[in-house]
Amino acid sequence: MKKTYINGVGCISTQKTFDTVFLEEAVVNHDENVLAVIPPVYKDYISPAAIRRMAKGVKNGIVASALAMKDSNVENVDAIITGTGLGCIEDSEKFLKSILDNNEEFLTPTSFIQSTHNTVGAQIALLQQCKGYNFTYVNGAVSFESALIDAKMQIEEEEANSILVGGVDENGDYTTALFKLNGRIKKDNSGPYDVLTSATSGAVYGEGASFFVLENERKENTYAELLDVSIVNTLEENEVEDAIQSFLKSNNLEISDVDVLILGFDGNADFENYYKNLVQNSFAETPQLYYKHLSGEYDTASAFALWMASKILKTQEIPEIIKLNPVSKPSYKTILLYNQLNGKNHSFTLLTK
């Protein structure tokens, strides 16, 4: 079986994650409960005529994928696999609003056509003239992991040599308002919004696009090897540690072999014990990191974490801004990512140098 290597990364997020080395310009926002992406110069990547018609999720996906392709020195890939939780939600909102505003008459179809979840993968394929396998996973908080598993299986079975994999989500005004109503996002004007010390329910929300070029051969510019990805739909708080141990065991590893643990703390006090139990018990001696204070919470936020992990393995440095504890190691070889959303959709991802 072929191994899977991450050979290129590209990330557009609520931080300046392009034109920088690694989070040196990152800022923690304590005043906003919904974070917006820091936009790149889109016209450097997309023609101005096309930009006008594109929702921000599509634009961010195209730029992030272009950055990953450039980073990996690859001209074309065999497949494009995308994960998204809400797809092009802005265009969906536009279309639904125009239905209401126009009494269901005289509708322009553009927003409807571009509101489907697979728009991002399709636009990337059109720009790259990639006629290979193109698939979009919409599996809530494990959408990106589902895409990763698919890509990894294809590379292992030698059905593809290089695959572009990404996670994309965008915020829409109306959807954000609904999320605030049902408590998924923290209440307005209840700051400061601190992810680690929060005592309230709801998360600090964000958006972003992260893409990776996965290939079956190791190169000079390789970031990491993707060892394994696992998804578990439901776990009790006291079952997470056992799940992690069996996941590591299936890869001939133990907890002591993990050099870095990256956790998805999002400020929702109702579900933080899933992470806190690990922090205080089995991984107390392991360097621990978190990331949603920078990226915000969204269905494919774990793609931002994978970008971060890839950077750590390549640079062998951990920025202070993402540290949960003061523990450090002389070198970092194996990284474990653990994420869950509201107690469901638990995912474990394992990388090695």
Residue ranges of the alpha helices (H) in the chain?
Answer: 48-51, 56-72, 89-101, 110-113, 119-128, 143-156, 173-181, 240-249, 273-280, 292-295, 302-315
State how far the Cα of 164 lies from the Cα of 185, in Å rounded to an integer: 31
As a 3-state breakdown, the chain gives helix, strand, coil percent values, each rounded to 5, of: 35, 20, 45
State how far the Cα of 204 lies from the Cα of 262, in Å rounded to an integer: 18
Token pair for 206: 């964000």
pLDDT of residue 264: 94
pLDDT tens digits, one per residue of 81-102:
999 999 999 989 888 999 999 9
Token pair for 116: 């489907």
Q: What is the mean pLDDT of residues 49-71?
A: 92
3-state SS, one letter per residue, for 101-169: HCCCCCCCCHHHHCCCCCHHHHHHHHHHCCCCEEEEECCHHHHHHHHHHHHHHHHHCCCCCEEEEEEEE
Q: Does residue 154 have a pLDDT over 80?
A: yes
Task: Identify the weakest region by mean pLDDT among 102-116, 193-207, 214-228.
Answer: 102-116
CA atoms within 13 A of residue 89's CA, in its CB half-sphere? 19
Which whole-number Å values give the CA distances from 182 to 59, 84, 175, 186, 202, in the listed order?
A: 29, 21, 11, 10, 9
Q: What is the mean pLDDT of residues 194-223?
A: 93
State how far the Cα of 149 lies from the Cα of 172, in Å rounded to an integer: 28
Q: Which domains, from first to last, does the chain contain?
A: 5-215 (3.40.47.10), 227-352 (3.40.47.10)
Q: Does residue 350 have a pLDDT over 90?
A: yes
Contact 48, 212 (CB under 8 A): no
Q: What is the mean pLDDT of residues 23-49?
A: 91
Q: What is the mean pLDDT of residues 29-48?
A: 92
Q: What is the mean pLDDT of residues 272-280?
A: 90
pLDDT of residue 189: 87
Q: What is the pLDDT confidence band of residue 20, given thresholds at 50, 70 and 90? A: confident
Q: What is the mean pLDDT of residues 223-231?
A: 96
Token pair 């806190």 is at which residue? 276
Q: Does residue 17 have a pLDDT over 80?
A: yes
Cis preceding linkage at 192, omega within 30: yes
Q: Which amino acid is at 324?
A: L
